[in-house]
Amino acid sequence: MTSTLGSAESIAGRVRTMRETVLGEAGESERLRTLSPAVVEAMWDAGLMTAFNPAPAGGVEPSFAEMIETWIEMAWQDGSFGWVGIANLPSSFAAAAYLPDAGFAEVFTAHDNRVTMGGQFFPNGQGTAVPGGYRLTGSWSFGSGIGHSQYVAAGFLPMDGTEMRWVSEGVPDMQVAVLPREQVSFNDGWHVQGLKGTGSYDYSVDDVFVPAERTFALFTREPLRGSSPATRMGMMPVTAAGHASWALGVAKSMLDDVQELAETKFRMSDMASLASRPTFQKGLAHHVAAWRAARLLVLDAFETAESAVGAGQALTPALRADMRVAAVYATDVARQCAEWAHLVAGTSSIREGTRLERAFRDMYTGTQHAFISEKIAIDAAQIWLGVIDDQFGL
C-alpha cells in the first residue's frame, strides 16, 4: 500500500477535509471511549494514518512544520482526534524507522503498510533475555490510540537474569516491543474527565515471547528506513512536537469559538454584547497574540534543530532542551488561553456536547501528561546553566 498523499504539503489540507466527519462523530467517540469507526476509516481514506511514516512504510516523511500544522488542525477539530494523532502517528513512525528488517517485514510489509499502532513507550515492563528475543511481562497505563490499533507498543527494561542492562553509567537500556493485539490483555478503565474518545486503555502482558526483531531502542536516532531529519532525531522530539501542537490546536478551537460566540453573547442584566466590551477585546487580543507567539516559538525550536540535523550536525543537548522547553511553554500558554475562553464564555461553556465544553475538559486532561511537566523545563534550564551536561530523557 503506497501513500495516497502526493506530497508532505498536502497532509494538513487532507485533514481539513475531515472536519465535518470528526466534528459530527465527536460525541459518538466520547460515548464509545475510543475513536468511532467512521473517524478511523476517514483517517485511512485521507492517507493520514501512514503519512508520517518513512517512505518504505507508505509515508511522505514530512517536515516538522508540516507535522505541527497537521496536529494543530487535528486538535482544533476535536481534542480526542488530535490526541490519537499524537499517539498513533509517532508510534508507527518510530516502528517503521527503527525496527530491524525482519520485524519491519512482519509488521509493515506483510500488511501492505496498513498498520495502526499505539501504546506506552515508557519502560514499565521487564523483558528477560532468552534465545531469539525476550520473555516480556509488565503493565502499562494510558495506551492512547490502542482502541483501534492492531499492534501495541510496550516499553521495557531488558534483563539478563536478574540484572538490568546499562548503556552507560546511570542510563539503563530501554527498549520498545511491538506486540500483536491478540497477545495483549486490556483493562477498559478509561473513564475520565476529558480525552474520553482516545481509547487510552491500561494493558498488560504476562511472560509473552517477543522476538528481538520486533524490538528497538527507545532513544535510538539511527534509522534503518527513511531519510528525513526527523528519523535521525528520535522519538523524543517528535513526541514533544506532538504535545505542543495538540495543546495549541485545542486552545485555538476555544479562542475561535469564543470569538464567534462574542457577536451574539449577552450576559444577564448587560445590554452590551460580549464583543463590544473593552475588557473582552483586550483579553482576546492578549490571548490570541500569546497563542501566535507560542506557535512561532515551537516552529522556530523544531525547525532550528531539524535544519542542524539535516546539515549533518549533531542533535546537541541544547537543541533538545530548546525543543522540550518550547513544548512546555506552548502547553502553558494554551492552558491559559483555554481558561480565559472558558471564563468569558459564561454559561455557554458549561453545556455538555459543545466543542467549547469538550475542549476545556480535554485541555485539563491532556496537560497533566508528564511529558510536558515542570521537570522538563527544570532539566532544560540546568543544561542551559551548565549544571548538567545532558539529560538523556530530553
What CA–CA distance (Å, rounded) separates 58 from 11?
13
User: Are 330 and 211 in a shared domain?
Assistant: no
DSSP 20: H
- Determine contact, residues 265/273, Cβ cutoff 8 Å: yes
Beta bridge partners of 259: none
Domain assignment of residue 275, yes or no = yes
pLDDT digits (tens, 9 = 90+) for 87-143: 999 999 999 999 999 999 999 999 999 999 999 999 999 999 999 999 999 999 999
In this prediction, residue 353 carries a pLDDT of 86
Domain assignment of residue 224, yes or no = no
Domain assignment of residue 22, yes or no = yes
Backbone angles phi, psi at 279, to 5 degrees: -65, -40
Q: Is the model's pLDDT at 242 over the cut of 70?
A: yes
What CA–CA distance (Å, rounded) separates 203 from 76?
29
- Determine contact, residues 15/76, Cβ cutoff 8 Å: no
Q: Which residues contact 33 (CB under 8 A, 6 or more apart)?
A: 147, 188, 190, 191, 196, 197, 199
Which has the closest alpha carbon to 314: 211, 199, 201, 229? 229
332: which 3 cell numbers? 502553558
pLDDT digits (tens, 9 = 90+) for 323-343: 999 999 999 999 999 999 999
Question: Span 9-13, mean pLDDT?
Answer: 82
Domain assignment of residue 3, yes or no = no
In this prediction, residue 265 carries a pLDDT of 63
Q: Is the dihedral of CA 255, 256, 257, 259 positive or negative?
A: positive
In this prediction, residue 347 carries a pLDDT of 85
In this prediction, residue 276 carries a pLDDT of 83
- Determine contact, residues 322/316, Cβ cutoff 8 Å: no
Q: Which residues contact 212 (CB under 8 A, 6 or more apart)?
A: 100, 132, 133, 134
Instruction: Print the domain residue range for 125.
Output: 117-217
Q: Is the model's pLDDT at 157 over the cut of 60?
A: yes
What CA–CA distance (Å, rounded) separates 22 from 41?
11
- Determine contact, residues 322/234, Cβ cutoff 8 Å: no
Question: 366 pLDDT band (50/70/90 cuts)?
Answer: very high
Q: Is the dihedral of CA 382, 386, 391, 394 positive or negative?
A: positive
Q: How many domains does the chain have?
A: 3
Q: Go through the chain and tell me how many residues it has.
A: 394
Domain assignment of residue 299, yes or no = yes
**Burial profile 91-110: b = 16 or more Cβ within 10 angstroms, e = fewer:** bbbbbbbbbeeebbebbbee
Domain assignment of residue 260, yes or no = yes
Q: Is the dihedral of CA 33, 39, 44, 50 positive or negative?
A: negative
What CA–CA distance (Å, rounded) separates 29 from 22?
9
User: Are 236 and 381 in a shared domain?
Assistant: yes
Beta bridge partners of 176: 155, 216
Question: 2 pLDDT band (50/70/90 cuts)?
Answer: very low
User: Are 313 and 354 in a shared domain?
Assistant: yes
- Determine contact, residues 68/241, Cβ cutoff 8 Å: yes
Question: Span 311-315, mean pLDDT?
Answer: 97
Q: Residue 171 region, left (φ>0) first, then alpha (ψ -120 to 50), else beta?
A: beta
CATH number of the domain that residue 268 is part of? 1.20.140.10
42 vs 10 pLDDT, higher one: 42
Question: 224 pLDDT band (50/70/90 cuts)?
Answer: very high
Q: Is the model's pLDDT at 9 over the cut of 50?
A: no
pLDDT digits (tens, 9 = 90+) for 56-97: 999 999 999 999 999 999 999 999 999 999 999 999 999 999
User: Are 255 and 378 in a shared domain?
Assistant: yes
Q: Of 98, 132, 156, which closes a domain?
A: 98
What CA–CA distance (Å, rounded) separates 212 from 115?
20
Cα 203 to Cα 84, 185, 200, distances in angstroms: 17, 6, 9
Amino acid (one-letter) located at 271: M
Question: 148 pLDDT band (50/70/90 cuts)?
Answer: very high
Q: Is the model's pLDDT at 4 over the cut of 50?
A: no
Count of beta carbons in the 10 Å neighbourhood of residue 371? 18
pLDDT digits (tens, 9 = 90+) for 341-359: 999 998 888 988 899 999 9
Looking only at the bridges linking them, the beta strands covering 117-130 and 151-160 are parallel
User: Are 345 and 367 in a shared domain?
Assistant: yes
Domain assignment of residue 27, yes or no = yes
What is the per-residue DSSP string for 246-291? HHHHHHHHHHHHHHHHTTT-B-TT--SBGGG-HHHHHHHHHHHHHH
Q: Is the model's pLDDT at 266 over the cut of 70?
A: no
49: which 3 cell numbers? 494514518
User: Are 141 and 243 in a shared domain?
Assistant: no
In this prediction, residue 264 carries a pLDDT of 79
User: Are 211 and 248 in a shared domain?
Assistant: no
Q: What is the rounded average pLDDT for all residues in the chain?
A: 94
